[in-house]
Structures are given as structure tokens and as C-alpha cells.
Amino acid sequence: MLTMSGKINGIDVEGLRDMIGAVAEDGAKAGARFTATSRWRGGTRSETAVDAWEFGGKTLRRGFNIVIDEPRELLGNAEAPNPQEMLMAAVNACMMVGFVAQCAVRGIRLESLEFETTGRLDLRGFLGVSPDVPPGYERVESTIRVRGDATPEQFAEILAAVRETSPNYYNLTRPIRFEPRLEVR
């Protein structure tokens, strides 16, 4: 079911299988470290630099900047997505990569794929107005809309596999240790 270029849904299936095999064979090749450095740019605006990442003991260059701002109603200039929108975009994108790859290794061709994620915050928690209101989400919902040459049951199996393997799904649905360290300069 591979195309002439060896890709399905834009994924190099043979390359993916090779990477899976290499990581399964040698755990030293499995390590990945991601770093993002965010700097305040005034008001509610920040800019995050993603300069490099580590993979299998090697540092690889990236070179991306991500701008974040709040809507005017939250005292921003509405010049970029806010942190909550970026959080949802990050989980959507991570799960989408997994979904596309899972389809590709199964030989399933996609026509379209869309993740829509939403959550409701009570700003009394964020603003410190009420200690009884959590500052974060109590529930986040996601709708996945997909069209391709698989059955609904096959797509459900793929979604289950994505839920088991997506780093951002894992991070959003389970507690992780987060250890901020303050350096006053």
C-alpha cells in the first residue's frame, strides 16, 4: 500500500519502522529532550525560543520562535494565541502526529483529519478571587473528525493507540512533577 515515494499520509513508513526498530534495539537511541526558553516582551506578551533539541545523545538545531499574548479582554494586545490556546494546540498537534503515523503504518490513507479541543476556565481561580475555584481546567474535551479508507472501528483502535502513546495526551491527563527553580539576578 505504499505510494511510489514510500509515504502514506506524508509519513515515510519505512523510516518510521526503522526508527521504531532502532529505539527498540538500543534504549540509548530513545532519549529525547526538549527545551523552550520564554522571555517577557511587555504586558502579557512573551516570546519563546526553541533553539535545539536532543535526540539519541545528539544536539540538533531547531530555530523557532513562538509569540504568545492574551486577548484584550484579559489585558493583552490580542497579537498572538494565549497560553491556553497554545496548550490546546500542542495537545492537538501531538495527538494528530500520532494519529497520522498510526494510520500510515496500518496502510490507512487519510482524506482529512481535524482535532478540536475545548475547556472552560473559571477566571476566579486564575485571578485569586476565590480559593475554592481551581485555576485550571477540571475537564477538557476533544472532538476528532476523520475521513479516510478505514472503518469506524479501525479509527477507534487508532485513537486508543494514540491515547496510549501521545506524550502530550499523557502529560495533560496524568500528574507529572514540575519543579520550578527561581534564580534572582
| pLDDT score, position 6 | 84
CA angle 64, 69, 70 (to 5 degrees): 155
Residue pointed to by grid coordinates 491515547: 163
Residue pointed to by grid coordinates 509519513: 11
| pLDDT score, position 10 | 95
Tell me which residues of the chain have a pLDDT lower than 70: 1-5
CA angle 176, 60, 101 (to 5 degrees): 65
What the chain holds in terms of domains, given with CATH numbers, is 1-26+82-175 (3.30.300.20), 31-80 (no CATH)
pLDDT tens digit sequence for 29-81: 899 999 999 999 999 999 999 999 999 889 999 999 999 999 999 999 999 99
Separation of alpha carbons 62 and 57, rounded Å = 16
